[in-house]
A and B are shown apart, each in its own frame.
Chain A
Amino acid sequence: MHELTWGLPVILYLFLAGLGAGAVTVSGSVLLRKGGFGSSRFAIARCGALIGPLPVMLGTFLIVFELGQPFRALNLFKLINLSPMNIGSWLLGAFIFLSLLYALTFLPPSAGPGDRLRGVRRALAWICVPVGISVAIYTGIMLGAMPARPFWNSPILAGLFLLSALSTGVASIILAGVFFRRNHRDPAVRDDYDNSSYLLTASDALLIGGELIIIFLFLMFAQLTIGDVRYAVNVILPGGNLAPAFWGLVIVIGLVIPLVVEIVLIVPKLLYGRRFVSIPAIEVAIPTAIIIGGFALRYIIVVAGQITAPAAL
Chain B
Amino acid sequence: MTGSRKKSADRENQRTSRRNFLKAAGGSAVAATVAAVAVPSLATDDESGQQADKKQYGMVIDVRKCIGCHSCSVACKAEFDVPLGATRSWVEYTDKGTYPNVSRNFLPRLCNHCRHAPCVDVCPTGATYKRKQDGIVVVDAGLCIGCKYCIQACPYDARFLNPLTGVVDKCDFCIHRVSKGLEPSCVNSCVGGARIFGDISDPESEISRVMATNPVTVLRPGMGTEPNVYYIGADHSDEHENKRGWYDVRVTTHRKEKDRR
Contacts and interface: CB of A to CB of B under 8 A. Distances in A.
Interface stretch (A67-75, A248-256, A265-273): A67-75
A149 B152 contact: yes
Interface stretch (B22-30, B196-204, B218-226): B218-226
A277 interface: no
A313 B152 contact: no
A78 B240 contact: no
B153 A148 contact: yes
A250 to B, nearest CB: 22
A224 interface: no
B125 A146 contact: no
A309 B261 contact: yes
Interface string B54-67: 00000000000000
B121 A145 contact: yes
A83 B124 contact: yes
Interface string A67-102: 111001101101101111110010000000000000
B121 A82 contact: yes
A: contact size bracket: 35 or more
Nearest to A86: B124
Contacts, number: 110
A305 B236 CA distance: 23
A110 interface: no
Given A68-B168, A82-B121, A311-B238, A148 B147 contact: no
Interface stretch (A2-10, A53-61, A118-126): A2-10
Contacts of A142: 149
B257 A313 contact: no
Contacts of A82: 121
Contact of A148 (B143, B161, B223, B256): B223
Interface string A283-313: 0000000000000000000000110011111
A306 B236 CA distance: 22
A177 to B, nearest CB: 37
Contacts of B147: 67-68, 85
Q: Is the interface of B mostly helix, strand, loop or mixed?
A: loop
B155 A148 contact: yes
Contact of A147 (B118, B146, B151): B118
Contact of A83 (B121, B219, B240, B261): B121
Contacts of A148: 118, 152-155, 223
A231 B222 CA distance: 15
A313 B238 contact: yes
Given A79-B126, A312-B240, A69 B166 contact: yes
Contacts of A227: 222
Nearest to A143: B152
A1 interface: yes
B148 A310 contact: no
Contact of A86 (B125, B144, B168, B236): B125
Interface in A1-60: 1-3, 5-6
B123 interface: yes
Contacts of B155: 147-148, 310
B145 A69 contact: yes
A91 to B, nearest CB: 12
> Of A84, A89, A147, A148, which is in contact with the most chain B CB atoms at under 10 Å from its CB?
A148
Given A67-B147, A68-B145, A312 B124 contact: no
B118 A146 contact: yes
Nearest to B94: A313
B168 A310 contact: no
A179 B58 CA distance: 64
18 contacts: A3-B256, A5-B152, A67-B146, A68-B144, A68-B148, A69-B145, A72-B143, A75-B127, A75-B143, A78-B126, A83-B123, A85-B147, A85-B149, A146-B118, A147-B118, A148-B155, A310-B155, A310-B220
Given A228-B222, A311-B238, A312-B238, 5 more contacts: A2-B257, A81-B123, A148-B154, A148-B223, A309-B260
Interface of A: 1-3, 5-6, 67-69, 72-73, 75-76, 78-79, 81-86, 89, 142, 145-149, 227-228, 231, 305-306, 309-313
Nearest 4 pairs of A and B residues by beta carbon: A68-B146, A68-B166, A86-B124, A148-B155
